[in-house]
Amino acid sequence: MQQILKLDPANYLRHRIHSQERDWAETNCYVDIWIELLHSLGHEPVAAMPYTLAIDFEGDQWTFFKFPLADLYDLYGIDVQELAIWQPLTKHIEEQVKLGRPVLVELDSYFLPDTAGMAYKLAHVKSTVAVTEIDLEKRHLGYFHGQGYYHLPANDFLDVFRLRDEPDPAVLSPYVEIAKLRRTDKLPAEQLVQLSLKLLKKQLTLLPEQNPFHSFKVKFKSDVKWLCNENLETFHQYSFATLRQFGACYELAANYLSWLTAQGESDLEQATQQIKAISETAKVYQFQLARAISRGKKLDLTPIDSMALLWDSAMNSLTDKYL
Convert the pLDDT of each residue in 194-247 to its tens digit. Answer: 999 999 999 999 999 999 999 999 999 999 989 988 888 899 999 999 999 999
Print the SS3 string covering 282-307.
HHHHHHHHHHHHHHCCCCCCHHHHHH
Neighbours of 117 (CB within 10 A): 7
pLDDT at site 296: 81
60 CB-contact burial (10 Å; exposed 0-12 / middle 13-18 / buried 19+):
exposed
CA gap 231, 294 in Å, rounded: 10
How many helices (H) and strands (E) the chain has is answered by 10, 7
Using N-to-C axis directions, what is the helix angle for 243-262 and 269-295, rounded to 10°? Answer: 160
**CA end-to-end span of the chain:** 50
pLDDT at site 264: 97
- Quote the distance between the C-alpha of residue 7 and its chain's center: 22
Q: Give the residue extent of every domain in the chain.
A: 2-42+78-181, 189-322
Residue 298 dihedral angles phi and psi, to the nearest 5°: -70, 140
pTM as predicted: 0.95
CA gap 25, 52 in Å, rounded: 16
Are 307 and 278 in contact by the 8 Å Cβ rule? The answer is: yes
Neighbours of 164 (CB within 10 A): 8
Are 249 and 54 in contact by the 8 Å Cβ rule? The answer is: no
- Quote the distance between the C-alpha of residue 302 and its chain's center: 28
Beta partners for residue 218, in sequence order: none
Convert the pLDDT of each residue in 143-195 to its tens digit. Answer: 999 999 999 999 999 999 999 887 777 788 899 999 999 988 899 999 999 99
Convert the pLDDT of each residue in 3-47 to its tens digit. Answer: 999 999 999 999 999 988 899 988 898 999 999 999 999 999 999
Convert the pLDDT of each residue in 269-291 to its tens digit. Answer: 999 999 999 999 999 999 999 99
Q: Compute the radius of gyration of the chain from its Cα atoms.
A: 21
Convert the pLDDT of each residue in 235-267 to its tens digit. Answer: 999 999 999 999 999 999 999 999 999 999 999
- Quote the distance between the C-alpha of residue 228 and its chain's center: 29
Region 95-112: what's the mean pLDDT?
A: 97
Residue 129: closest CA among 169, 165, 98, 157: 157
Arithmetic mean of pLDDT over the chain: 95
For residue 14, give the amino acid letter: R
Residue 79: closest CA among 195, 179, 186, 175: 179
Q: Which residue has the higher pLDDT, 321 or 173?
A: 321
C-alpha distances (whole Å) from 158 to each of 23, 138, 154, 155, 161 are 36, 11, 6, 5, 6
DSSP string, 104-148: EEEEEGGG-GGGTTTTTTT---EEEEEEEEEETTTTEEEEEETTE
